[in-house]
Amino acid sequence: MVDLLQIAGAAAGFAPSIGLLYFTLRDYTYPKVEKPFFDDRKLFAFLALGIVIGMVLFALESYGQGSSSGETVVAVVLVFAVFEELLKFIILNFPRFQKKVDTAFYGLSLGLGTAMTFTFASVYVSLLDLAEPTAFEIVVFSLLGLQYVFLHGATTATIGIGVARGQARGYFTQALLMHLSYSLLMIPFFAASEFVLQMAGVVLASAVVVYGYYRMHSLLLPVFIRDAKRWAPTQEKEKE
């Protein structure tokens, strides 16, 4: 039976992810443009793949954190940040996706699909660990779950843009630095005893991922599409 905690987890994971996907893609598909920049079927295939990956990553990360001690928690957090971004990089950097304009959009879909289930599971399990979560605690943990949506959406789309540009390593580095910064800033929230340090970590970590998504949405993606339009006539001539 579905309970309030499951509803809170689903609301935190699925609703913002779908909203961001629509918000970001609406300018690159019909009716805003005559010819969409991506294939809807592939887009939803990557979304489905991300949903599976999100559950796998959550299970692995939960096991790793549960078996780590206080001395090794930082190392574990950093290792998982690297592992997650490498996995996305490997998937998107297959030869069939390299230097293809639509790869940028499939990266976004993969990331937000990952965020859906990863956020859902994280919020649900966190609330389940509380004896009797109050309405305030449900709201707080649901809002914290939004960090994962911005994080996975921004980092995976950034990697996708890099692969589409033919500059995969450079953009992968950007995504990895964002993820590492977020992970390090969130450590005080879980490890510090002082409320001020906890809140400072949350605020700074949230700023990193929100800015990362804003930068991807407002700068990286539009500039890439502008450049791709400029490259198109040259590529057509080369085919001839």
Mean local confidence (pLDDT), 216-228? 96
105, 50 Cβ separation under 8 angstroms: no
Predicted local confidence at residue 226, as pLDDT: 94
> What average pLDDT does this structure show over 182-203?
90
Determine the Cα–Cα distance for residues 21 and 3; give it in Å rounded to an integer.
27
pLDDT of the residue at 192: 81
What's the pLDDT tens digit per position in 135-146?
888 998 899 999
User: Above 50 in pLDDT, residue 235?
Assistant: no
Give the pLDDT confidence score for residue 240 in this predicted structure: 40
Task: For residue 238, name the pLDDT band (cuts at 50, 70, 90).
Answer: very low
Domain count, the chain: 1
Q: Are 138 and 5 in contact (CB under 8 A)?
A: yes
Residue 233 scores a pLDDT above 80? no
**Where in the sequence is the domain holding 87, given as residue range(s)?**
4-239
Tens of pLDDT along 45-100?
Answer: 999 999 999 999 999 988 877 666 566 778 888 899 999 999 999 999 999 999 99
Q: How confident is the model at residue 189 (pLDDT cuts 50, 70, 90)?
A: confident
CA 85 – CA 130 distance, rounded (Å) = 30
Sign of the dihedral defined by the CA atoms of residues 18, 20, 21, 25, in that order: positive
**Structural contact between residues 59 and 120, judged by C-beta atoms closer than 8 angstroms:** no
Q: Is the pLDDT of residue 115 over 80?
A: yes
Q: Write phi, then psi, for 140 (nearest 5 degrees).
A: -60, -50
As a whole number of angstroms, the distance between CA 227 and CA 223 comes to: 6
Higher-confidence residue: 159 or 74?
159
pLDDT of 71 reads 62
Q: Is the pLDDT of residue 29 over 50?
A: yes
For residue range 116-138, what is the model confidence (pLDDT) as tens digits?
Answer: 999 999 999 999 888 788 888 89
